[in-house]
Amino acid sequence: MIRHDKLYRATFVERPNRFIVRADLDGAIVTCHMPNPGRLWELLFPGTSLMLRKAPADSGRKTAYDVIGVFRDDVPVLMDTQYNNDVASALIARKLIPGWESWSVLRREVTVEGSRFDLLLHRDDELFFVEVKSCTLFGRTGAMFPDAVTERGRKHLLHLAVLQERGYRTGLLFLVQWDRAAWFLPDYHTDPAFADTFAAVQDKLDWKAFSVAWDEYFSLPRPGRELIYPGHILKRENHDGGDYMAVLHVKRETACEVGSLGRLTFSPGYYVYVGSAKKNLAARLARHSRVRKKMHWHLDYLRRIADITATVPVRTVDDLEHDLARRLEKIAVSSVERFGCTDCGCASHLFYFHENPVHYRPFMNVVEDFRINRLQQFI
C-alpha cells in the first residue's frame, strides 16, 4: 500500500522539458515536476488525465505539484519511479514473482564493485543483487524498454553480466505498468545498442518482466503476470535497416526549389516525411539531420528551410514504407503531391500537420502499430 495525503486530478497541457509538465487543474495552469525522465510520447497528449500530488509547502521548490500517474484508455499508469522499489519489494515478499519465491528482501540500494543496485535479496547465505526498471512503453499486448536512448542502461547490463561471471547472482526486474501486456522486448527501434547488449547478456542474468495494475489513486498495485520474451523477433528485426518517419518544422511560409518538382511553397507547420533504408539506416537518419550536403533526395531540399524535430525509425526486414505513407495520408491535413515518391505509385511521402504530430494521438497510434502492435503476428 502506498499512501498519499491527497491526489488531484488534472489534464495535461504541455511538457517543456523532461522534468517539467504544465497541467490544467480546475481551470488554472500549474507547473509540475515529472519524476519520469522518459520520452513518454505514447502517453502524454493534450487533455490526457493526470494525477498530481501537492509538494510540501516548506519544500522551497519551484514546482507546486508532482505527477504521480497518467491515464491511458482510462487505465492508470504509474509515472513516479520512486515507488518502483516499494512495488518490487512487495511483490517479492508476497512470493508473486515466478522463480523468485524462495528469495526475500534483505536491503535496498546496496553497492557492489562500484555499482548501486535497487534491491539485495537473500536465500539463507546466498545473495542476489537486483536492479528494478519501470516500463511505460507498450502497445495492445506488447511492452518495450527503454523509450529513450540509455547508454547508462546499456553499461549497467554489461556490468551485471560481468558480476555474474565473477560469482555474484544478479538480475533485473522490469515492472511493466500495463497489465494487458503479454510479451516484452528491448526497444530496438529507439535504442538498438541497448537491444544488442540485452540480447547478448540476457541468458546470463536472472531477469523478469512482470506486469502490474493500479487503482485510480495509485495506492494499491495489483499483480499481473510474467511476460514472455520472444527473442526470435529481436533476431529477425533488429538490424540497421528498415523504414522511418522524419518530423520537420517550417516556421513561416517559404518557397524553395525541390529538384524535379520545381519551386514549391511550404506553409508554416509540421511535415512528416516517410522513407526507407534497407541498410545503414542510422547513417541515413544522420545525413538527414545535416543541412550542408549534396542535394540528392527531395528531403534534402526541404531541409534548407525546415528543422528536423524528431526521427522515428521502424527497424524491420519488411518493406513497410508504402504502408506507412498510406496510413499517414488518412490522418494528415494534406500532402505534397509526388514529394519523395517519384519512383513508386504513392501519391506522396510528405504529409502536413498544423501541430507537432508527436503530440497528436492518431500519429502516435501509427507509430505504435508499426513499432509494437504489428509484432504480435510473430509471437
For residue 236, pLDDT beyond 90: yes
For residue 25, pLDDT beyond 80: yes
Question: How far apart (Å, rounded) are the C-alpha atoms in residues 272 and 254?
Answer: 17
pLDDT of residue 82: 84
Do 103 and 55 sit in the same domain of this protein?
A: no
Question: How far apart (Å, rounded) are the C-alpha atoms in residues 125 and 169?
Answer: 12
Do 253 and 333 sit in the same domain of this protein?
A: yes
DSSP string, 195-258: HHHHHHHGGGSEEEEEEEEE-TTS--EEEEEEPB--HHHHHHH-SS-EEEEEEEEE-S-EEEE-
Average pLDDT, the chain: 94
39-64 pLDDT, tens digit each: 999 999 999 999 999 988 777 788 99
Instruction: List the CATH number of the domain containing 211.
Output: 3.40.1350.60
Do 111 and 172 sit in the same domain of this protein?
A: yes
Distances (CA, A) of 311 to 17, 285, 307: 18, 7, 11
Label residue 29 by pLDDT band (50, 70, 90).
Answer: very high
Whether residue 335 is contained in a domain is answered as yes
Domain limits at 126? 81-237
Whether residue 89 is contained in a domain is answered as yes
Whether residue 210 is contained in a domain is answered as yes
DSSP string, 257-294: E-GGG-EEEE-SEEEEEEEEESS-HHHHHHHHH-SSS-
* Element (DSSP H or E) covering residue 87: helix 84-93
Do 259 and 360 sit in the same domain of this protein?
A: yes
- Domain boundary among the residues 206, 237, 268 is at 237
For 92, the grid coordinates are 517479492
Lowest-confidence range among 210-224, 322-336, 357-371? 210-224
Q: By the 8 A CB rule, do 195 and 57 touch?
A: no
Do 294 and 343 sit in the same domain of this protein?
A: yes
Do 213 and 111 sit in the same domain of this protein?
A: yes
Q: Is 303 left (phi over 0), alpha (psi -120 to 50) or beta?
A: alpha
pLDDT greater at residue 134 or residue 290: 134
DSSP string, 334-362: EE-TTTT-TTSS-S-SEEEESS-GGG-HH
- Domain boundary among the residues 196, 219, 237 is at 237
Name residue 300's amino acid: D
Label residue 379 by pLDDT band (50, 70, 90).
Answer: very high
pLDDT of residue 183: 98
pLDDT of residue 2: 67
Do 101 and 227 sit in the same domain of this protein?
A: yes
241-293 pLDDT, tens digit each: 999 999 999 999 999 999 999 999 999 999 999 999 999 999 999 999 888 77
Count the domains in the chain: 3
* Distance between start and end Cα atoms, the chain: 35
For residue 115, count CB atoms less than 10 angstroms from its CB and return exposed for 0-12, middle for 13-18, buried for 19 or more: middle
Do 158 and 57 sit in the same domain of this protein?
A: no
Do 145 and 284 sit in the same domain of this protein?
A: no
pLDDT of residue 317: 97
Do 212 and 347 sit in the same domain of this protein?
A: no
159-202 pLDDT, tens digit each: 999 999 999 899 999 999 999 999 999 999 999 999 999 999 99
Do 199 and 262 sit in the same domain of this protein?
A: no
Percent over 90 (pLDDT), the chain: 86
- Span 149-154, average pLDDT: 92
Label residue 343 by pLDDT band (50, 70, 90).
Answer: confident
Label residue 3 by pLDDT band (50, 70, 90).
Answer: low
Instruction: List the CATH number of the domain containing 38.
Output: 2.40.50.580
pLDDT of residue 1: 59
Q: By the 8 A CB rule, do 165 and 200 touch?
A: no
